[in-house]
Chain A
């Protein structure tokens, strides 16, 4: 199976055929905006420095779509921007619980503009298309989003999450797997006491404060959907406390938030119910895991001296990894890779490459086999021009940035990398 998946990165068709996705024909957009059509493409007609003046404004006028639901985006909307409604955004972002759903750059931008707008990209459109046309009676599909650093893997995952929210799916979030694997602060000794032996299984370890945060975000995201979901099994939390058959998810979650010691067990119960129940009782479920490669390497947590825990020795990690297998139906698993924390993990050790196999390792690659790879790259011409036009329209860019020459400089300096472009524009203004 490994060889097959390795092949699939070269020939995407094979992989699509293996999964249960109904393929849709992607039509090329009618209007293409390229840099070649613009004024400054002619080298020889350029005037010397002293006479050229800033003031030629970008001619792109149509850069925003009015459609805020990702389900209704068409192929013509790809490369334009759309705005996430405020009520949706406040559900998705959970910075109050010390975890970042979107990127930090994007949060900063939203704070200053009071508006959450992002680019609709080709792979995002693709992934939504797959989710709309999948056969949900078959085992779940695993999607692995990969690409260079800062190319928008996390943003793509949130785009899919927004789609599922609008379709009333149950969402099981994990905004950063690595945050479960490290102490909040390694330099404060008091922080290190926050891990404990699991009450359920003594071989595993709980991280109670993180579990409470997770329950909070889970409740915020799904809201009233949790009242209709019932348990199918009796759970004995402790000697005197238990949950009977037919108890709702919302009451379990509230119980877990109240009793911190039990919070991790509640998460385990929720994840088990999602796997066990079928489409008649459980709504369609989306599992998102960012920095998924963290789940297949050593943690920074330790109980004994110099012995670091493995990810599956955490009870949360154990349950999440079970959820990432294709043993259940009526749902989807979307994962994204991340490189920087790995470089932090092993000092002075550089990874051989940024290929998914290098990041996931043998274990991770076997675990997620077979999966659908989704490649994210740098901005295309249309995407970067609409992003810049948006910044200009909101008066985020001023001065020499407004000229075509300034625009070209921004494009070359960022090298079309979305995160770098945002970083430069945020620091320039």
Chain B
């Protein structure tokens, strides 16, 4: 953003609530068009087909900048985006505003609220009348797959919306949506709702079940967490038996919390005792610190926690071909199919650990 200055040379960016007249902005737009035309000629392009993206790329080419801050780089913006417009008020010949809600500071918003309330009254009256006549509503309003707009999104529709006002709007709308005849006002309600963009779960085509030498169906997957890596094999038609590195489940994980982590995918789908699991797990210790001589004394870290997390991810991945798309979607939404990206932070020179500093002594 370039610095906007007045004719006197004062910085307008520092002044708040500065608004520009329509004529001024129109003047600037014409200047901008001329500038763009000139730029297109300089770049050897046809001015008629020269778009805003071309403007950006040509500015980047002519004034190459390695500044990290985006706002500090040179740019050529449209004046409509740069200069805030004056608010035009509809007034009579005496200068009095025509809208009776003008002095509420946001007249359009309160007008909308009044309209919603009138719709609510209508719906209630309709319900009362039809209840006496014993007529049931034809359909119901299905709001699945969408949610109410956020505060920021409503701000774009109306001017000067505070949080309590937003809450008022949503409560009013949800009262209307609960009415049995709300389907008649579907357009009004859906104006303030955002439809979900449903993502499809992991590609099931890639995962296929295989058959064992003994004729048992199984699927394989790998899971990772920190430095632990687990190769997991899940058998169908099992009895809930889990073996890890050849050991039984309770021998390998004496702590119940670790066991709870491993069986979360089964708990979530309520499929305990349906599958058998055979896992091979390795890693999980911060190896550099354990082996280094002369380093500061470290307590041996427990590899089991990260190993349990790695096995959990492997189980969730291997379960997908057995449980079907809907259940796989449940697993994905619970976050069981995504790897935990966190890693151990490295030690820094000049301090004990990643963050811990040496004790400060004056001398």
Kindly identify which residue among A40, A43, A48, A415 contacts B259, using a CB–CB cutoff of 8 Å.
A415
Smallest CB–CB gap between B215 and chain A, Å?
17
Q: Are A49 and B259 in contact (CB under 8 A)?
A: no
Residues of chain A within 8 A (CB-CB) of B248 are 415
A413 within 8 A of B: yes
B11 within 8 A of A: no
Residues of chain B within 8 A (CB-CB) of A414 are 250
A408 within 8 A of B: yes
B147 within 8 A of A: no
Residues of chain B within 8 A (CB-CB) of A424 are 256
Kindly identify which residue among B236, B237, B267, B322 contacts A409, using a CB–CB cutoff of 8 Å.
B267
Residue of A nearest to B251 (CB): A148
Q: Are B273 and A412 in contact (CB under 8 A)?
A: yes
Interface residues of B in 248-270 (CB under 8 A from A): 248-251, 256, 259-260, 263, 266-270
Smallest CB–CB gap between A24 and chain B, Å?
31
Kindly identify which residue among A41, A49, A411, A423 contacts B269, using a CB–CB cutoff of 8 Å.
A49
Residue of A nearest to B329 (CB): A48
Q: Are A43 and B236 in contact (CB under 8 A)?
A: yes
A220 within 8 A of B: no
Q: How far is the CA of A417 from the CA of B321 in the complex (A)?
A: 31
Interface residues of A in 35-64 (CB under 8 A from B): 35, 40-41, 43, 46, 48-49, 52
* Most chain B CB neighbours (cut-off 10 Å) among A35, A41, A49: A49
Residues of chain A within 8 A (CB-CB) of B249 are 415
Residues of chain B within 8 A (CB-CB) of A420 are 250, 256
Residues of chain A within 8 A (CB-CB) of B266 are 409, 412
Q: Are B270 and A49 in contact (CB under 8 A)?
A: yes
Interface residues of B in 311-361 (CB under 8 A from A): 322, 326-327, 330
A411-429 near B? 1/0 per residue, CB < 8 Å: 1111101001001100000
A405 within 8 A of B: yes
Residues of chain A within 8 A (CB-CB) of B259 are 413, 415
B262-299 near A? 1/0 per residue, CB < 8 Å: 01001111111110000000000000000000000000
Kindly identify which residue among A48, A148, A411, A423 contacts B272, using a CB–CB cutoff of 8 Å.
A411
Q: Are A409 and B272 in contact (CB under 8 A)?
A: yes
Q: Are A49 and B239 in contact (CB under 8 A)?
A: no
In the complex, the 8 A-B pairs of residues with the closest C-beta atoms, listed nearest first: A408-B272, A405-B270, A415-B250, A412-B272, A412-B240, A408-B273, A409-B272, A43-B274
Q: Looking at chain B, what size class is its interface with the partner chain?
A: 20 to 34
Interface residues of A in 166-197 (CB under 8 A from B): none
Interface residues of B in 151-186 (CB under 8 A from A): none
Chain B residues at the A interface, C-beta cutoff of 8 Å: 236-237, 239-240, 242, 248-251, 256, 259-260, 263, 266-274, 322, 326-327, 330
Q: How far is the CA of A413 from the CA of B273 in the complex (A)?
A: 10
Interface size for A (C-beta < 8 A) is 21
Smallest CB–CB gap between A422 and chain B, Å?
12
Smallest CB–CB gap between B201 and chain A, Å?
13
Q: How far is the CA of A424 from the CA of B322 in the complex (A)?
A: 30
Kindly identify which residue among A35, A41, A48, A413 contacts B256, using a CB–CB cutoff of 8 Å.
A413
Interface residues of A in 227-252 (CB under 8 A from B): none
Q: Are A409 and B263 in contact (CB under 8 A)?
A: yes
Smallest CB–CB gap between A330 and chain B, Å?
41
Q: Are B260 and A49 in contact (CB under 8 A)?
A: no
Q: Are B270 and A413 in contact (CB under 8 A)?
A: no
Residue of A nearest to B268 (CB): A49
Residues of chain B within 8 A (CB-CB) of A408 are 240, 270, 272-273
Residues of chain A within 8 A (CB-CB) of B251 are 148
* Most chain A CB neighbours (cut-off 10 Å) among B242, B271, B327: B271
Can you give 27 A-B contacts (C-beta < 8 A)?
A41-B273, A43-B271, A43-B274, A46-B269, A48-B326, A48-B327, A49-B269, A52-B270, A148-B250, A148-B251, A405-B270, A408-B240, A408-B273, A409-B266, A411-B240, A412-B240, A412-B266, A413-B259, A413-B263, A414-B250, A415-B248, A415-B249, A415-B250, A415-B259, A420-B250, A420-B256, A424-B256
Q: How far is the CA of A35 from the CA of B241 in the complex (A)?
A: 13
A387-427 near B? 1/0 per residue, CB < 8 Å: 00000000000000000010011011111010010011000
Q: Are A413 and B268 in contact (CB under 8 A)?
A: no
Residues of chain B within 8 A (CB-CB) of A423 are 256
Q: Are B272 and A405 in contact (CB under 8 A)?
A: yes
Known: A412-B263, A415-B259. A46 touches B271 (CB 8 A): yes
Residues of chain A within 8 A (CB-CB) of B242 are 412, 415
Residue of B nearest to A150 (CB): B250
Smallest CB–CB gap between B73 and chain A, Å?
50
Q: How far is the CA of A413 from the CA of B271 in the complex (A)?
A: 13
Residue of B nearest to A404 (CB): B270
Kindly identify which residue among A40, A49, A405, A413 contacts B327, using a CB–CB cutoff of 8 Å.
A49
> Could you list 4 further interchain pairs (A-B, Cβ under 8 angstroms) beyond the known A405-B272, A412-B272, A412-B273?
A408-B272, A409-B272, A415-B259, A417-B250
Q: Are B273 and A49 in contact (CB under 8 A)?
A: no
Q: Are B236 and A35 in contact (CB under 8 A)?
A: no
Q: How far is the CA of A408 from the CA of B271 in the complex (A)?
A: 8
Smallest CB–CB gap between A83 and chain B, Å?
28
Residues of chain A within 8 A (CB-CB) of B240 are 408, 411-412
Residues of chain B within 8 A (CB-CB) of A41 are 273-274
* Most chain B CB neighbours (cut-off 10 Å) among A35, A405, A414: A405
Residues of chain B within 8 A (CB-CB) of A405 are 270, 272
Q: How far is the CA of A424 from the CA of B250 in the complex (A)?
A: 14
Q: How far is the CA of A46 from the CA of B319 in the complex (A)?
A: 14
Q: How far is the CA of A48 from the CA of B327 in the complex (A)?
A: 7
Q: Are A411 and B273 in contact (CB under 8 A)?
A: yes
Residue of A nearest to B326 (CB): A48
Residues of chain B within 8 A (CB-CB) of A413 are 256, 259-260, 263
Smallest CB–CB gap between B216 and chain A, Å?
13
Q: How far is the CA of A35 from the CA of B238 in the complex (A)?
A: 11
Residue of A nearest to B272 (CB): A408
Q: How far is the CA of A41 from the CA of B273 in the complex (A)?
A: 8
Residues of chain B within 8 A (CB-CB) of A48 are 326-327, 330
Residue of B nearest to A49 (CB): B330
Q: Are A35 and B330 in contact (CB under 8 A)?
A: no
A50-87 near B? 1/0 per residue, CB < 8 Å: 00100000000000000000000000000000000000
Kindly identify which residue among B237, B256, B260, B263 contacts A43, using a CB–CB cutoff of 8 Å.
B237
